[in-house]
Amino acid sequence: TDPAHSLSDSFEKKISHVPTFIQENLYAVEIDPEIAMEEYQEKLKEQSEVNPGMELLQEQMDMASMSPGIDEAAAFDQFLKYMTTDEYDVVIFDTAPTGHTLRLLSFPEMMDSWVGKLIKLRRQIGALAKAFKNILPFMGDEEEEDRALKDLEATKKKISEARAVMSDPERTSFKMIVIPEEMSIYESERAMKALEKYDIHTDAVIVNQILPEESDCEFCRARRRLQQERLKMIREKFSDQILAQVPLLKKEAKGIKTLEKIAEILYGKPLTDNKDTSTVSSP
């Protein structure tokens, strides 16, 4: 969901806005904000043709700063699509930096309220249309009115399903990535508390860029000591979460081989039989 296209960089492969094959059992998608916005605007246009008043309500809500931004709403529309699909066994969202992610994850609450108001308005307009159908022909026929209401109710249902998935710890977990520095720790702590408001469970904290123990570099040893102090702070603040460490690598974390190495550090070597595997291990 990060508009910076970091997945393409991570996999060293051009990834588009549709599922792109990476390797067996692995596909990736980068949500293109422009394409997502075009698709979302087209959807709104189609609904407004059979849903008089939608544009008026949107303007009113924009003025009141109540409605989501069109670009963020478009991204959330794509987010919903992949969150509720049955096409894949596991869907992993590589989210953008904290502020953008919290905004995205708060959308079910915002969109539910927004669509609820549209449904209420649609029903009011439907009642008026039936009462004044002879003098207000632009209201459309009953079939169009029913389709508009059904579309809105289907959207509301999808949002409710997404909220249920996000708040179910058996189906959804959030992995917080931090580096052993105070600013990152405090930001992660704030983010975790914000996620709790939306009933999203953070089950693991992964501490990245840990320096090796042995080094002839005095600067490196000093940084290592500081990191150890911050690790103690992390253990105290996130005592309810699984903690894992990823060392600072000799090269950038990109390309399948390097990403597989990181996965092995976190989860162990992939199994070749049907035995169960362990989750992220505590340091």
Determine how many CB atoms are found less than 10 A away from the CB of residue 164.
14
Interatomic CA distance for residues 69 and 61, integer angstroms? 11
CB 160 within 8 A of CB 112: yes
**For helices 98-105 and 107-131, angle between their N-to-C axes, nearest 10 degrees:** 40
Judged by phi (left if over 0) then psi (alpha if -120 to 50, else beta), residue 28 lies in beta
**Catalytic residue set:** 2
Interatomic CA distance for residues 248 and 234, integer angstroms? 17
Sheet holding 242-247, edge to edge: 174-178, 202-210, 242-247
